Amino acid sequence: MDKKQIEDTIELLALFDEKVTELSESSFAEAVFDNSGIDISFERGEQGMVKRRGPSDESIRAWAPSIRLLLSRGDRISFRRMHLVYARLPIDTATLKILEEHREDVEVFLNVPASTHTDMHIEPLKIDGQEPSALDFLERFIYGDIMHLDKDKRKDFVNWKSNPLIFAFAQNRFCVLSAHIINLATELVGLNDWITRRLKEQL
């Protein structure tokens, strides 16, 4: 890498760290890690009650576009784009191995069924009769309700929202998956500090 490429990479790493810090310090993240979950109660002779704890509906809607920065392949600081940058870094093999393992962790997380991460198989949250991947599920909130309003993704989102009981579970799953995203991104912030110092030594 020449001097300009190193400077551009340092700038990109700083931008990633800035945005991830904003996400991890948001009211949404605070609520997710503080007391997020589902409470189910039953009274004799009555229908069961489900109550969701954690971020408010408004907080979830505000968070959804932000998480897109890490998931959309077109965004500069998406996991995919960052891992392409990491693969070209002139740094030691041990660090590159850690970054490659992180890339694999992200790929596995996004592509396995969302229910794997929540330990809850909920039939109405399936898409076309199949368990959606974590990425497919998250995109129903991002592109089905907030951004672009993709026709197919919105259909699934609206179906979930039409049933308050099911939607509580859908929102909780969104929160659980988002917590994993925050943790994965935060891992890179820690590495970026070390990488930046190594790159600056080459200027």
pLDDT in tens, 65-79: 889 999 998 899 999
Amino acid, single-letter form, for residue 102: H
Instruction: Quickly state the pLDDT bin for 1 (edges 50, 70, 90).
Output: confident
Which residue did the predictor score with more confidence, 50 or 69? 69
SS3 37: strand
Q: How many domains does the chain have?
A: 1
Dist CA 118 CA 161 (whole Å): 19
pLDDT in tens, 8-29: 999 999 999 999 999 999 999 9
Would the pLDDT of 192 be above 80? yes
Which structural domain, as residue segments, surrounds residue 131?
Answer: 3-200
Looking at residues 42-48, what average pLDDT do you find?
64
Least Cα distance to 81 among 189, 9, 24, 21 occurs for 9
Token match 């490429």: residue?
5
pLDDT in tens, 51-68: 899 999 999 988 888 899
